[in-house]
Structure 1
């Protein structure tokens, strides 16, 4: 894994995702805000993370919880103000924490000034060229331009009324109708987003997580694609009417030219050549196979890309060994670190996901009437999975609350759901609300300490009381203290900078050696039914759960020398 810039901070950083709506609420409106985040930054310093990534806080009508941006250069009053953002960056830097912000380039809000101008302008106008407007099919244009589906369910096209009131063109939205896709073939769109990058870099931001990074360019001609639409849509799909090929809306080769340009912009902000001053980009690119995903982290493009193959891998030793090996093979081929992740704001939390039967399709939300996870099993496996992940060389992302062992709210009343997926799928997919529930800070306070009031924008489950920060802080064996220990040891041992060897410890075990700069560390995750003995006299550095007479029990990971 060694490269000339192997010491660059981002190659082995642990970055903590903050979902601003649900982290901390200072003003008491039931929705998290930037001042609330500032109040909790010392907690993140003590946890031991290197940086935070904030999901969108821009001006937005909140049709998709802020991923529908109306103004990329200002803060939505729901979260605070630009001075609050500046104060957050300054305070984080004082505490030694870098700040990464979300950037949403695939689409804007339908309330963005550009889209409003497009609706007021005629077909073929420069205003409409900024988006993906097309004429409909049929004599009267009443049929959508193609058969694409939205990721959130339903058709990916909406017809507009022309300025004179007559039915007119259709616009593409791979997500909600309030999220029209931009036309990235247009130079003006590219220039605008480079300007947005500079706006935030000038304010001291350390980097960007790029939303739907694999979706900006669409295949020429927008050919039909009748497959069910998902974010993991770049994989070759088997269809009865079409040979195996990439979906025409995902992972088109033209996206790479855009990111090469962005990398040059970021590079211009590091005039010293000191890798500690690097400004970075991380790609949300749901792309398979790993070799194709690795194209996004070539030296001229992104610094990092989430390893979603790892997140999607079932809890089986063989599967984990395979994905770890294939991930390193692909990323090593382009000199990039592998960036590990197990949970985020778009998927069922791994403390719940791993409590479901291994190998079943990952559900898009869990609710009343659905098969429920085994909470005890899920937490035990989640702790083991994270201990395995944080022992691997490369970078890692944590999602807020996973350090508390938070599960999804799997019994949330359906009438409380706000994810557009729930309505657009005709109530067949519950969506992502379960993983977005506000954080519990104090077990005996209103809203479990999330804010000064009882109300929260999504309801919190009663189980969060026992998992609140105050119930785990300083408690030996708690999930919070396990995370603090893992992050401290990972930094002290420099595990993120190591190289990896595989040990043979049986078919139901993932056994690795991290050859770190401070010396070798053995990592063993037991997924089998029986305890596994480790070398006699071994020094156990950390275990995700209690050992059994020195042996590693089922669903437990241990670090030792």
Structure 2
């Protein structure tokens, strides 16, 4: 059935496109090998030329960088690696001068273990005034603290190992769903919540335009923190049913909205990153009447190419699975709520290597196809730095080339258990987060124009041919294809208001759908051949004389009732009804 477009389709962000900057890897202005705020300022005209509306800035707060800045030690300052608060204010002003908005990354499921809140919670002991700002528990009954199996429950961490670390000073364990240096805040404590809200208001008063909320649906845990089920072959229990969309999550987000966003004089953007969220939950989170968040990042489609062994157990993607997933989210949020549209970000590998074909023959064409399919769906598209160039996964030769804690911990754990080291590396090369974190490829010089120093992680050697300088000069480049898609998002009402209907849902190579806007009498047809061979398809009646809006191959022939698409060809057509 078609999807009816109602709800928040008139909000400014429904016609917007967001560009994510990962500052550490974007542009280095001082030759220390790490990107910084001044580097972002110097490259703002490039972002503006793309035509995006919002810049999402990954964390730039003070941090020990155990998890590359997602372990925050001070929420109201800038890490000297990236600059100063004055630099941030200059960046914010420059973004606004170019007619764009700036969204900060909000990481409040956890802090760094070097945050003053945590040091006070730890050093004050069980009776200290800030003890219950974090989640502390004694060892299991009858177990000696600090020994294997004495943890308060059996949950496994996202970053390998248990979710509990024993603190000898205070004699208890603290909870960390991620790294041991990222202790979870206790959102059951109203003082914690009020401190977070005060910090958020401080940034809004400074002029930021909203927040991307990191793993925000993990902040509410089931009381008692019960053990998780242990699946065959797993060392730890699956605690996710006890912290994904926990019992008070809607209460907490509604309170956050009242305390921070309600009646704000500027129209802000709030997007919640929510691993494991279902369509049904997302309808509640994004229903405007409930006043929680504007949209969510869901993870269903980026888990379709993993096997039973988890993230690094890579399996070929089935296009029918991808269509079923994205189509379900289009339908599920069609009459209530709103979709976030993304292929990649700082946590996902490069999409042209993942769902496309990064060979020299088809890299550009498949990168354009992937962009076309995503941007023609209903929702707000997100572009991750370098995606608009068709940047690909990096050729990591050994574990020494990786920097990400998730990859390093996984390699250490699996090889210690006797797993084949080369097989472990193969999974990391395909799915490791460092693929998205290699430096932005500005030009063909030695370090891709990212730095004149030594980059913190190696530049992908393909920057000699894949870089912004070359693509800006080529009107047929991936960059300019993204620019045309973004312009279409701003000018074609059917992309915001139009119904969505999937065509040929069981076809294993063809991704096709329509967008129909009754108010303007406009219908769009999207055709994409997700394969390296010619594909002949039967089209809906009446499209033979339609207008070609966008194509990744010069559209020299009109559509026919039985039409042949070239390998990795994508076309968007428009007709008036």
Report TM bin, short chain.
0.7 to 0.9
1:527 aligned partner? 530
Aligned pairs (5 A) from 1:29-68: 29-68=32-71
Contact 1:352–1:408, Cα closer than 8 Å, also in 2: yes
Q: Secondary structure at the match of 2:41?
A: helix
Structure 1, unmatched stretches of 5+, are 229-236, 272-276, 357-372
1:205 to 1:269, Cα distance in 2 relative to 1, 3 A: farther
Distance 1:515 1:483 in 2: 22
Aligned residues: 524
**TM-superposed deviation, 1:48:** 0.9
Residue 85 (str. 1) matches residue 88 (str. 2): yes
In structure 2, what is the equivalent of residue 360 of structure 1?
Answer: none
State how far apart, in whole Å, the 2-side matches of 1:130 and 1:256 are. 20
Q: SS at the partner of 1:38?
A: helix
Going from structure 1 to structure 2, the CA distance change for 1:531 and 1:62 (only over 3 Å counts) comes to: same
Q: Determine the structure 2 residue equivalent to 1:440.
A: 441
**Alpha carbons of structure 1 residues 126 and 70: separation in structure 2 relative to 1, 3 Å:** same
Matched position secondary structure for 2:469: helix
Query: Residues 130 and 246 from structure 1, CA distance in 2 versus in 1: closer, same or farther, beyond 3 angstroms?
Result: closer
Q: Is residue 286–residue 308 contact of structure 1 (8 Å, CA) maintained in 2?
A: yes
Question: Given the superposition, is the C-alpha separation of residues 494 and 37 from structure 1 closer, same or farther in structure 2, using an over 3 Å criterion?
Answer: farther
Aligned residue number for residue 450 of structure 1: 450
Greater mean alpha carbon deviation, residues 200-209 or residues 8-17 = 8-17
1:241 is displaced (CA, Å) by: 12
Report what 1:256 is aligned to: 250
Write out the 4+ residue segments of structure 1 that deviate beyond 6 Å after TM superposition: 237-242
What is the deviation of 1:117? 1.3
Separation in 2, partners of 1:51, 1:179: 28
Q: 1:304 to 1:175 in 2, by over 3 A?
A: same
Confirm or deny that 1:383 pairs with 2:394.
no
Q: For residues 241 and 197 of structure 1, do their structure 2 counterparts lie closer, same or farther at Cα, with a shift above 3 Å needed?
A: closer
Shift of 1:526: 2.4
How has the CA–CA distance of structure 1 residues 501 and 190 changed in structure 2, closer, same or farther, with 3 Å as cutoff?
closer
Separation (CA, whole Å) in 2 of partners of 1:97 and 1:134 = 46
> Does the Cα contact within 8 Å between 2:402 and 2:408 map onto a contact in 1?
no
Instruction: Supply the distance in 2 between the matched residues of 1:176 and 1:460 (Cα, whole angstroms).
Output: 26
- The residue aligned with 1:363 is none
Measure how far apart 1:268 and its partner are: 3.6
Q: Which runs of 5+ in 2 are unaligned?
A: 306-316, 415-423, 559-563
Distance 1:245 1:116, change over 3 A: closer
What is the rounded CA distance, in whole Å, between the counterparts of 1:402 and 1:386 in structure 2?
9
**1:128 paired residue number:** 131
Q: Aligned equivalents of 2:383 and 2:397: distance in 1?
A: 23
Distance 2:329 2:337 in 1: 10
> How far, CA to CA, are the matches of 1:296 and 1:76 in structure 2?
32
Which piece of structure 1 moves more, 478-487 or 520-529?
Answer: 520-529
2:318 paired with 1:329: no
What does residue 297 of structure 1 align with? 286
Contact (CA 8 Å) 1:184, 1:216: kept in 2 or not?
A: yes
Match among 408, 411, 431 for residue 396 of structure 2: 411
State which of 544, 548, 555 in structure 1 corresponds to 2:568: 555
CA gap of 1:181–1:494, structure 2 versus 1, over 3 A, is: same
SS of aligned partner of 1:337: coil
Matches of 2:221 and 2:510, distance apart in 1: 42
Match of 2:550 in 1: 542
Structure 1 residue corresponding to 2:158, chosen from 135, 139, 151: 151
For 1:221 and 1:375, how far apart are their aligned partners in 2? 54
Q: Deviations over 1:19-46 (max 9, x none)?
A: 0101111111111111111111111111
Following superposition, the deviation at residue 324 of structure 1 comes to 3.2
- Return the TM-score normalized by structure 2: 0.85
Per the TM alignment, residue 87 of structure 1 is displaced from its structure 2 partner at its CA by: 1.1
CA contact (8 A) 2:327 2:502 kept: no
Which residue, out of 221, 224, 228, partners 1:221?
A: 224
- CA displacement at 1:123 relative to structure 2: 1.7
Q: 1:446 to 1:458 in 2, by over 3 A?
A: same
The answer to whether the 8 Å contact 2:548/2:555 transfers is: no
Does residue 176 (structure 1) correspond to residue 184 (structure 2)? The answer is no
- CA contact 2:197–2:256 (8 Å) conserved in 1: yes
Distance change >3 Å, CA 376–CA 306, structure 1 → 2:
farther
Which runs of structure 2 are paired with 1:369-518 in the superposition (5 Å)? 374=359, 376-377=361-362, 380-427=365-412, 428=414, 430=428, 431-443=432-444, 445-451=445-451, 453-502=452-501, 504=503, 507=507, 508-516=509-517
Instruction: Report Cα offsets for 1:125-177 as digits up to 9, x if no partner.
Output: 332211111101124334111111110101111111226xxxx1111111111
Change (3 A) 1:257 1:522: same
- TM-score, length basis structure 1: 0.87
2:300 equivalent among 306, 309, 312: 309
Please give the alpha-carbon distance, in whole angstroms, between the structure 2 residues aligned to 1:412 and 1:15.
33
Partner of 1:159: helix, strand, or coil?
A: strand
Q: Given that residues 20 and 32 in structure 1 are in contact (C-alpha distance below 8 angstroms), is that contact kept between their aligned partners in structure 2?
A: yes
Answer yes or no: is the 8 Å Cα contact 1:12–1:396 preserved in 2: no
Residue pair 2:6, 2:497 contacting (<8 A) in 1 also: no
